Amino acid sequence: MDMLSYLADGFAVSLSPLNLAVVLVGVTAGLFIGAMPGLGSVNGVAILLPMTFIVPPESAIIFLAAVYYGAMYGGAISSILLGIPGASTAVATTFDGRPMAQKGEAGLALIAAAVASFVGGTISVVLFTILAAPLAEFALAFGPPEEFALVLLAFTTFVGLGGDDVVKTMMMILFGLALSTVGLDMISGNPRLVFFDLPGFYSGISFLILAIGVYGVGEVLWTIEETRGSPKVMNARIGFRDLVDGVKKLGRTVRTMTMGSVLGFFVGVLPAAGATPAALMAYGLARSGSKNPENFGKGEVEGVVAPEAANNAASTGSLLPMLTLGIPGSPTTALLLGGMVMWGLTPGPMLFIEQPGFVWGLISSLYTANVFAVIVNIALIPLFVWALRMPFPVLTAVVLTLCVVGGYAPNARMHDVWMIVLFGFGAFVLRKTNYPMAPLVLALVLGPLMEQSLRQSLISSQGDMTTFFTRPISGTLMAISVILFALPIIKRLRSAGALKPAQ
Amino acid sequence: MRIAELATALVLMGLSVWFMVLATALPIGWVPEAGPGGGAFPFWLSAGMFVCAALILWRETRVAPRFKRVAIFIHPAASGQMAVAAGGLVAMVALLPLVGAYIAIPAFMIGYLKVIGKTGWVTPILLSVGTVLFMFFFFEVSLKILLPKGWTEPWFYPLYAMFF
C-alpha cells in the first residue's frame, strides 16, 4: 500500500502544469528525434541535455525521460517509412515494417508500432513500479566493496553478453575508465592526465562532451556514410477509420505484445543488453511461436509489434538499475544518470529516502509520458511523413549546430567544443573499425564511482583484495562477474571443440 | 579497411603509453596510510588498454590481407559530403572565437546547404535566421549564457541593454 501512496504523491508532482508541459514537449521532441534516420534516444538526450537548464532539476530529468520515451516510439517511424532504423533499437522493426510499407500498409504498420509501444511501455512501467522500491531497499546494504562489484558486473555484462568483439569491448571499457580519471585526483587533489597541460583538462572530461561528440557529431558522420546522404521515404496516410481498423487487426497480436513487453523489461534491466537485443529476441520468439513463421520478413504485423513492445519495455527496464542502484543499463540511462549528478541528484537507494517526491514523480511521469507518446505519435503521423521528406542536409546542419552550441553552453569554454569535434571524429573511426561505443560512454560515467569504491575498499581492508570476495553480496556479484567474463572464452572453446571433428 | 584497423590499434597503443607516462606523475603503487596512489587507477587501466590494443594488432597482423573481408573505409559516394561536413564543422568552431557564433554558425549553415543541399537561397537563409533567433532568445535571454561574439561583441551592446 505504501507503494500506491508514494505513487499517488508522485502523480501530484508529475501532473503539475509545468511537468505535464515538460512531458508533452519531451515526448514530441523525442518522437521527432527518434523518427530522424540515424538519431535515437541517446542522441536526443545528449543533444537536448544542455537545453534543460531552463527548468528546475526535477522537471529537467522528467523532460529527458520523456525524450527517451518519445524517441523509443519514434524509432519505428523511420524504420517503416524509410527502411532505415531511427536507432539500432528499431532495427528489428524494419524486418517487417518496411515490407508492410512497400505493400501499401504503412499506416497499419505505424499504428501497430504505436499501440505495441504503448502496451510495452505500460506493462513495463507497472513492473518498474512494483520492483523499484524493494530493489532500492536491498541496495541500502551496499558498501564500497558491493558498489565496486556492481560496477564491475555492469562492465562484465558488456563483455559476456554485449555480443561485440570481446577485446574491443574491453578496450573501450578501459579507455572510458582512463578518460574518467582525467583531472584532479579525488583523494590527494593533485592533477593527473592533464594533456599538454591545457587548463580545460583540470576539471576532467564531462560525460556530456563525450556523449555529444559520439552521439551527435560521430552519428552525423556515420549516417552520411551509411545512407550516402539520400534516404527514400514511403508515404502513409491515416484517417480515423484506418485507426479503428488497425486497432481491430491488432487484437490477435495481444499475446505477442505481452510476451515482447515482459521479455523486453527484464532484458532491459541487464546492463549491456538493453533495447536492441530485447527487440531482436522478441522478434525471434514471435517468429518461432507463430503459426505462420514463413510470413515474417514479408510484412507480418506480429513482426512489428513484438520488437516495438520489447524495445519500449526495455527502455523502462534500463531505468530500474539506474534509479535504484545508480548503475545505468544503457548509454541513454548513463546520460540521464550524468544529468542527475550534474543537478545534485545522486541516483541510488538513498535517493528513494532523501528525495521520494522526485523519484515517484519521475516514475509517475513515465505513465503520463506513455499516454502522451501514443496520442502524439498517432496524431502527428502526417507531420512525421512531412518531416522525413526534409532534405537530409538540413537535418545534418541543424544537428551539428546544436552539438556546437549545446557543448559550449554548460561551461562557456571553447575547449569543450574542440573536444566534441575530436570525440566525434574519433568515434566515427572507432565505429567504422567495429569498436563498440556504449561501453566507452558508460565507463566514463561509472569511472569515478568505480575508482572511489575501489580505493575506499582497499583503504579500509589495508590493501586486502579478498574483501571483495568474502562479503556475501559483493562475493556473489564478483562470482557472477567472473562467470560473465569467462563466458566468451567458454563459447570460443566450445565452438573450437565443435569444429574439430569436421576438420 | 585493414589498414584502418591496424592504424587504429597502433594509435590506441600509443595513447595508452602516453596515458601511462602521464599517470606516473602521481604514485602508482601503495602509499602507506593513504592506500592506492593517485596514479594507480589510470596507470593500470592504461596498461590494460595497451594489452588490449596489442592483442587487436596481433590478431590483425595474423590474418593475411586476402582473407579479410573486402571493405572500404568511406564509400566514395559519401566522401564528398563527409569532407564538407567535417571541414565545415572545424571551420565553424575555429571561427567561433574570432567572428562569433552569430556569424560563424549562419555561415556554416548557408555554406553547407548551398554546397551539399544544392538548395536555393530561401531555405538556408530561413534556417539561419531561425537558428540565430533561437540561440539568442533561448541561450542568452532565457538561460543567461553568453555565446562567443568575437569582434562582433559591440554590435550586441544595444541588445544587452534591451534584454538584461
Q: Which three cell numbers stand for residue A275?
A: 533495447
Are the CB atoms for A294 and A303 separated by under 8 Å?
no
Q: What is the DSSP letter of A55?
A: S
Element (H, E) at B54: helix B40-62
Calculate helix-pair angle for B122-134, B101-112, nearest 10 degrees. Answer: 150
Q: Which three cell numbers stand for residue A303?
A: 513482426
Are the CB atoms for A276 and A311 separated by under 8 Å?
yes
Name every chain B residue with its beta carbon within 8 A of the beta carbon of A433: 1, 4-5, 8
Spatial CA neighbour of A312 closest among A12, A25, A54, A65:
A65
Tell me the DSSP string of A462-485. TT-TTHHHHSHHHHHHHHHHHHHH
The confidence band for A139, taking pLDDT boundaries of 50, 70 and 90, is confident
Length of chain A in terms of residues written: 503
Which of A89-93, A499-503, B145-149 has the highest mean predicted lDDT (pLDDT)?
B145-149
The confidence band for A84, taking pLDDT boundaries of 50, 70 and 90, is low
Q: What is the pLDDT of residues B2-47, one digit of tens each?
A: 788 899 999 999 999 999 999 999 999 888 878 899 999 999 999 9
Tell me the nearest-neighbour CA distance from B46 into chain A, angstroms: 6
Q: Do A404 and B48 touch (CB under 8 A)?
A: no
Q: What is the DSSP letter of B70?
A: P
**Which residues numbered 439-458 in A keep a CB inside 8 Å of some CB on B?**
451, 454-455, 458
- Is this complex's ipTM strictly greater than 0.95? no
Question: To which residue does cell 595474423 refer?
Answer: B62
In DSSP terms, B31 is beta-bridged to: B35
Average pLDDT over residues B153-162: 89
Measure the CA–CA gap between B95 and A17, rounded to whole angstroms: 42
Q: Do A178 and B46 touch (CB under 8 A)?
A: yes
The Cβ of residue B162 has, within 10 Å, a number of other Cβ atoms equal to: 9
The confidence band for A502, taking pLDDT boundaries of 50, 70 and 90, is very low
Q: Do A225 and B46 touch (CB under 8 A)?
A: no
Q: What is the pLDDT of residues B98-128, one digit of tens each?
A: 999 999 999 999 999 998 888 889 989 999 9
Phi, psi of A461 (to 5 degrees): -100, 10
| pLDDT surpasses 60 at A380 | yes
Domain map (residue ranges) of chain B: 2-67, 78-163
Measure the CA–CA gap between A253 and A291, rounded to whole angstroms: 12
Which of A11-20, A261-270, A298-307, B46-55 has the highest mean predicted lDDT (pLDDT)?
B46-55
Q: In chain A, pLDDT over 90 holds for what percent of residues?
A: 24
Calculate helix-pair angle for A302-325, A254-269, nearest 10 degrees. Answer: 30
Choose between A195 and A240: higher pLDDT.
A195
Phi, psi of B31 (to 5 degrees): -105, 120
Q: What is the DSSP letter of A437?
A: S
Domain map (residue ranges) of chain A: 2-487
Distances (CA, A) of A393 to A234, A237, A384, B163: 19, 25, 17, 34
In DSSP terms, A191 is beta-bridged to: A184
Spatial CA neighbour of A405 closest among A383, A393, A420:
A420
Tell me the nearest-neighbour CA distance from B159 into chain A, angstroms: 19
Tell me the nearest-neighbour CA distance from A482 into chain B, angstroms: 17
What's residue A503's pLDDT? 43
Question: Pairing state of beta strands B35-36 and B30-31?
Answer: antiparallel
**Which residues numbered 121-160 in B keep a CB inside 8 Å of some CB on A?**
123, 127, 131, 135, 138-139, 142-143, 145-148
